[in-house]
C-alpha cells in the first residue's frame, strides 16, 4: 500500500524494552502503524530501525521528511546517544542518532521515552491546560517526565526524571536497590517467578503451566482475587506511591498522570498506590495533587516522538529560510 500525501510526513518510533512501535504521521492524522519485538543489542536495533525508515519512505513515496524516536534510558539531548539501556541489552553508551545518520539521510530527533510521553500527554491528553505536570510510567521499567512552569525539564545531561533509578532500601535489607528493582513490570514478574518455587501461590503455579509469567498475568490473577498476586501488586503500588510522594515534595506539581502497562492493572495496584501517596504526604501536611490515569495509553510515546520530529522539521525549515 502507498499513502497518497500532499504534505511532508514524519516517522515516529517508540523504542521500548518489549516492542519497537512505528507510525507515520501527517500534520493532522496517524496514517499507518506497525510494531515488532524489540531486538537486543545496539547493532540489531539500528538495523531494524533502518528497515522501518525504508518502509516508511516507500509508503509515503518519498515524502518522509524527519524521524522522531522515543527511546528508553537516559538520552543525551545534544548527541542523541542513549546512556545505558539494559532492557535491550545495552550496558554502555549507545550512539543511536550517529549510527542511524550514517545510514539514513533524514533529520533525526531522539527523546527519552518518558519525556516523549510527557509532552504528548501534556499537550494532547490529561495534562492539557496545566503548567506544572508530571507523567509517571510504570511498564517494563519506571520513568517520569516533568513539566515545570510550562517547560519540559531534561536536566544538564538529559537525565532528569529517571524516577525508576532512584535508590530505595527495604527494611532489614543491606543492599540498596532501585525503585524499578521492586515495582516495575520486570520486577513484578520476577517476584512472581520466585513464588513458583514455594507453596504460597498455587493459582499462579497453575497459570504458569500455560502462560508466561508477566506483570500483566499477575495483575489479572490479582483482579480475580488470588492472594499471592494481590500481595505482589500491593507491594509494588505501595513502593510507587511512596516514591511519588517524594516527587511531590520536590516538584509540587498541579497534576500527575500515571500510565504504562502495569498502571492498567486496576484497583489492586491503584488503591495501595493512592493510599501510600496520601499517607506519606499527609504526615507532613503536604497538599496532595490530582492524580489521574493517563489518557493516551501506549500511544503516548509515539505521539511524543511525532511532536519532536515535527518540531525538528520546523526548526530545520526555519534555519534554511534564514
**pLDDT over threshold 60, residue 322:** no
Roughly what angle, to the nearest 10 degrees, separates helices 227-251 and 267-282?
40
Rounded-to-integer distance, Cα 65 and Cα 44, Å: 24
Q: Does the pLDDT at position 8 exceed 80? A: no
Render pLDDT for 34-63 as a digit per residue (tens, 0 to 9).
999 999 999 999 999 999 999 999 999 888
255-259 and 133-138: which strand pairing?
parallel
Average pLDDT, the chain: 91
Residues facing 113 on adjacent strands: none
Distance CA 174, CA 92 (A): 27
Residue 315 confidence (pLDDT): 82
Contact 128, 122 (CB under 8 A): yes
- Ranking 166-175, 183-192, 258-267 by mean pLDDT, the lowest is 166-175
DSSP state of 124: H
Residue 115 has pLDDT above 70, yes or no: yes
User: Which three three-digit cell numbers place residue 218?
Assistant: 499477575
Whole-angstrom CA distances from 298 to 35, 262, 294 are 12, 11, 10
C-beta atoms surrounding 86 within 10 Å: 13
Q: From CA 266, how far away is CA 68, in angstroms rounded?
A: 31
Distance of CA 167 to the CA centre of its chain: 19
The pLDDT of residue 2 is 41
Q: What is the pLDDT of residue 314?
A: 83
At residue 27, the 3 state secondary structure works out as: coil
Q: What is the pLDDT of residue 284?
A: 86
Residue 17 has pLDDT above 80, yes or no: yes
- Whether residue 5 has pLDDT greater than 60: no
- Percent with pLDDT over 90 in the chain: 75
**pLDDT value of position 185:** 95
Give 213-258 pLDDT, tens digit per residue. Answer: 999 999 999 999 999 999 999 999 999 999 999 999 999 999 999 9
For the ranges 79-88, 242-251, 288-297, the lowest mean pLDDT is seen at 79-88
Task: State the helix-helix crossing angle for 267-282 and 215-223, rounded to 10 degrees.
Answer: 90
- Average pLDDT of span 97-126: 95
Query: 183 or 315, which is more confident?
Result: 183
Assess contact for 123 and 307: CB atoms under 8 A.
Answer: yes
**If pLDDT is split at 50, 70 and 90, which confidence band does 77 have?**
confident
Is there a contact between 258 and 291 (Cβ–Cβ < 8 Å)?
yes
Q: What is the pLDDT of residue 319?
A: 61
Task: Tell whether the model's pLDDT for residue 173 goes beyond 90.
Answer: no
Which domains are seen in the chain, by residue range?
Answer: 9-117+299-321 (3.30.420.40), 127-295 (3.30.420.40)
What three-state secondary structure class fits 99? helix
Q: Residue 28 pLDDT > 80, yes or no?
A: no
Sign of CA dihedral 304, 309, 314, 319: positive
What span, in angstroms and rounded, lies between the C-alpha atoms of 92 and 74?
11
Which residues pair with residue 70 across a beta bridge?
Answer: 14, 111
Alpha-carbon distance of 246 to 83, in angstroms, equals 25
Tell me: pLDDT of 94 over 50.
yes
Amino acid at each position: 500500500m502507498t499513502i497518497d500525501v500532499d504534505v511532508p510526513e514524519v516517522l515516529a518510533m517508540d523504542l521500548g524494552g518489549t516492542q519497537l512501535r512505528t507510525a507515520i504521521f501527517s500534520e493532522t492524522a496517524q496514517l499507518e502503524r506497525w510494531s515488532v519485538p524489540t531486538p537486543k543489542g545496539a547493532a540489531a536495533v539500528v538495523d531494524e530501525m533502518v528497515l522501518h525508515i525504508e518502509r516508511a519512505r516507500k509508503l509515503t513515496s518519498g515524502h518522509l521528511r524527519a524521524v522522531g524516536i522515543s527511546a528508553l534510558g537516559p538520552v543525551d539531548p545534544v548527541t542523541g546517544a542513549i546512556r545505558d539501556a539494559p532492557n535491550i541489552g545495552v550496558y554502555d553508551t549507545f550512539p543511536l542518532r550517529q549510527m542511524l545518520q550514517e545510514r539514513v539521510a533524514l533529520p533525526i530527533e531522539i527523546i527519552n521515552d518518558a519525556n516523549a510521553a510527557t509532552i504528548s500527554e501534556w499537550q494532547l491528553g490529561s495534562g492539557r491546560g496545566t503548567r506544572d505536570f508530571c507523567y509517571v510510567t510504570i511498564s517494563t521499567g519506571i520513568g517520569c517526565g516533568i513539566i515545570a512552569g510550562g517547560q519540559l525539564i531534561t536536566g544538564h545531561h538529559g537525565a532528569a526524571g529517571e524516577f525508576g533509578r532512584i535508590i530505595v532500601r527495604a527494611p532489614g535489607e543491606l543492599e540498596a536497590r532501585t525503585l524499578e528493582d521492586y515495582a516495575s513490570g520486570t520486577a513484578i514478574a520476577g517476584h512472581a517467578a520466585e513464588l513458583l518455587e514455594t507453596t504460597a501461590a498455587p493459582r499462579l503455579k497453575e497459570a504458569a503451566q500455560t502462560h508466561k509469567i508477566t506483570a500483566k498475568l499477575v495483575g489479572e490473577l490479582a483482579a480475580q482475587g488470588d492472594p499471592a498476586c494481590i500481595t505482589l501488586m500491593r507491594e509494588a503500588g505501595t513502593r510507587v506511591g511512596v516514591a511519588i510522594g517524594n516527587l511531590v515534595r520536590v516538584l509540587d506539581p498541579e497534576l500527575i498522570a500515571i500510565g504504562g502497562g502495569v498502571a492498567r492493572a486496576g484497583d489492586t495496584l491503584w488503591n495501595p498506590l493512592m493510599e501510600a501517596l496520601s499517607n506519606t504526604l499527609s504526615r507532613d501536611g503536604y497538599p496532595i495533587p490530582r492524580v489521574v490515569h493517563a489518557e493516551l495509553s501506549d500511544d503516548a510515546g509515539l505521539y511524543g516522538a511525532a511532536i519532536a520530529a515535527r518540531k525538528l522539521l520546523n526548526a530545520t525549515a526555519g534555519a534554511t529560510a534564514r
